[in-house]
Amino acid sequence: MKFKTKITFLIFIPFLIAAQSSTSYTRFGIGDIEYTFTARAGALGNLNTAYNDGAHLTILNPASWNKITRTRLEISSKYDGVFLSNASNSKYFGNAEFGGFAFGFPVSELNGIGAAMGLVPYSNISYHVKESALLSTNEEYITNYEGKGGLSKFFIGTSYRMPFGLSIGATFDYYFGNFEYLSQINFTSSNLISTEYKKTFNPKGIGSTIGLISPDLSSLLKSEIITDLRLGASVSIISNLTTDTSLIKSSSVLLDTIGNGVVDMKVPMRLNLGFNVALSHNYLLNMDYAFQPWSEYSFNGIKSSNLRDAHKVSAGFEYRPSKELGSTFWEQMVWRAGLSFEQTQYQINGTGINQYSVGGGFGLPMGSENSLDISIQYSTRGTTESNLLKEDRITLNLGFSLGEVWFIRQEK
């Protein structure tokens, strides 16, 4: 059985109340997209498709696992601080959350066979806003709109390096999630009964990510400064997600399931392209592009006029003073900086929502194969014009990249 419910959301928000890490824009589609989860990537613009170094695990391109030489664990958490403003008000909200983890290990270093698995967020819905209005009888009522949840991804995959240096990789992905949308109508008069509508979606389904990284192309440039040059690409494909749905109406005198059923959620594929350039072994430059046609997203066969195709470009820079054994703590520190521009998938009443970001960070050595990575990123998106919201966000990422010394018992 299928059901279809149409709920009109108000973008105009006279005043704001407790929010979590996002804004009302996340009510559209599946919310904000999480491109990656590590603190390192957060400092480099959140994209790094051609990364080809076993010192870290990346989830954007499984071909990069060909360089894994030790068992590795990546784990992260983040804090989002958001300043929200409209034409007349401004508020600050904050939220901390677990970022995800990935675990990888080498199978055959000679053939570039590495394996990895992990659990990471794919999207995030998080908002809580309210609107006050008057009935024709001058009775005041307040409507609360709240949304939370998102889509998560569990992945497992492997890589392989061909004899001529081309690396390929693929993953099996399992997607699952929980989206909750709450609408409450509260009357200030005790003579009227307040009502609550709760809409719940539970999508699940499978997908795959396929990637490749070129061999070192630096010899083609015949430059002593450029010591490594790689091109990378990956594509993620998601099958239609089977989504259990329910809509419940409740009040102080009534609890009624208005509808429930199973529908399909269509999430579009995503394409990532990029290149990495190593300069004199101490500097690393990456530039990337991501594309996802959200105009093709549909829920129960219905597309959204508030979604458009998403494009993101980013650039990052990494500096490591020394990789030599015996280097001092400060010489082993890694410094990072990055920036990005994103044409987000949101398009509200014909106005596109764009995002600009800049960030930086560093990696603190914790032995030869372990590091504590910290990044901070500032981003701004939206506008206070046309009854919309402007968002200024500070994101702090904290992550650990741990090598096999943490997992292998030493012989006595």
DSSP 322-377: --STT--HHHH-EEEEEEEEEEEEEEETTEEEEEEEEEEEEEEESSSS-EEEEEEE
Q: What is the pLDDT of residue 273?
A: 98
Q: What is the pLDDT of residue 190?
A: 64
DSSP 294-326: GGG-EETTEE-TTB--EEEEEEEEEE-S--STT
Compute the radius of gyration of the chain from its Cα atoms. 23
pLDDT, tens digit, 9 for 90 and up, residues 235-275: 999 999 999 999 988 876 676 778 899 999 999 999 999 99
Q: What is the pLDDT of residue 141?
A: 79
Query: If you count DSSP H runs as helices and E runs as strands, how many of each does the chain have, helices first?
Result: 2, 21
Measure the CA–CA gap between 288 and 230, rounded to whole angstroms: 12
Low-confidence stretches of the chain (pLDDT beneath 50): 1-20, 405-409, 411-412
Measure the CA–CA gap between 90 and 356, rounded to whole angstroms: 20
DSSP 110-174: TTTEEEEEEEEE-EEEEEEEEEEEE-TTS-EEEEEEEEEEEEEEEEEEEEEE-TTS-EEEEEEEE
Q: What is the pLDDT of residue 412?
A: 46
Report domain 15-406's class. mainly beta
Q: What is the pLDDT of residue 193?
A: 73
Residues 6+ apart with CB under 8 A from 236: 173, 207, 208, 209, 269, 270, 272
The helix (run of H) or strand (run of E) holding residue 205 is strand 195-213
- Residue ranges covered by each domain of the chain: 15-406
Q: What is the pLDDT of residue 252?
A: 64
Please give the model's pTM, rounded to 2 decimal places.
Answer: 0.89
Q: What is the pLDDT of residue 22?
A: 54
